[in-house]
A = this chain, B = another copy of it.
């Protein structure tokens, strides 16, 4: 499922094999950067990332020549991880429960995005493709969960996945410290979904 769009993932041509240690370090950098970005934001010092990854500075710059390359790669990586969680949850839980759990997973993802929003609006063309990628991966995933829950009669069928995605993201982003606010609001959203399950209200957006 991650392979449906792999353009730009530290691009590798078919003719070129990647050395094992190179791959290992790339992975270590990605997960270290993800942790550091979540803790200190995307403006965190580079050395903090290389230290956590147990890697020299040169290694980072060979794999990610521009800072935006690293940020974009981490972002894509996490978008993939979050999107890929959906089918797993769908296989393990009832439709409604799977939807609820995935939305929780999604808010957890959004909550780690301190300062990314600023980077996205910085005008740097390197970030231009990210919102599209975000939408492209998540909308079908959420649509699948919604459709399944709607078929089971658990939620209404007249909700646009993209609207729900944006609403959930917007509820989550402004929360600097989580005091349960996000969870309560998302729960409210889900209750709203369930409300019209069997008597769908067309115009009552």
Q: Any chain B CB within 8 A of the CB of A15? A: no
Q: Which residue of B lies closest to A122 (CB)?
A: B118
Q: Which residue of B lies closest to A176 (CB)?
A: B123
Q: How far is the CA of A123 from the CA of B175 in the complex (A)?
A: 11
**Which chain B positions have C-beta within 8 A of A176?**
123
Residue interface bits A153-192, CB-to-B below 8 A is 1, else 0: 0000000000000000000000010000000000000000
A106-131: which residues lie under 8 A (CB-CB) from chain B? 118, 121-123
**Which chain B positions have C-beta within 8 A of A118?**
118, 121-122
A111 to chain B, nearest CB (A): 15
Q: How far is the CA of A122 from the CA of B43 in the complex (A)?
A: 13
**Which chain B positions have C-beta within 8 A of A122?**
118
Residue numbers of A with Cβ under 8 A of B are 118, 121-123, 176
Closest CB pairs A-B (n = 4): A118-B118, A123-B176, A118-B121, A118-B122
Could you list 4 examples of A-B contacts with CB < 8 Å? Answer: A118-B118, A118-B121, A118-B122, A123-B176
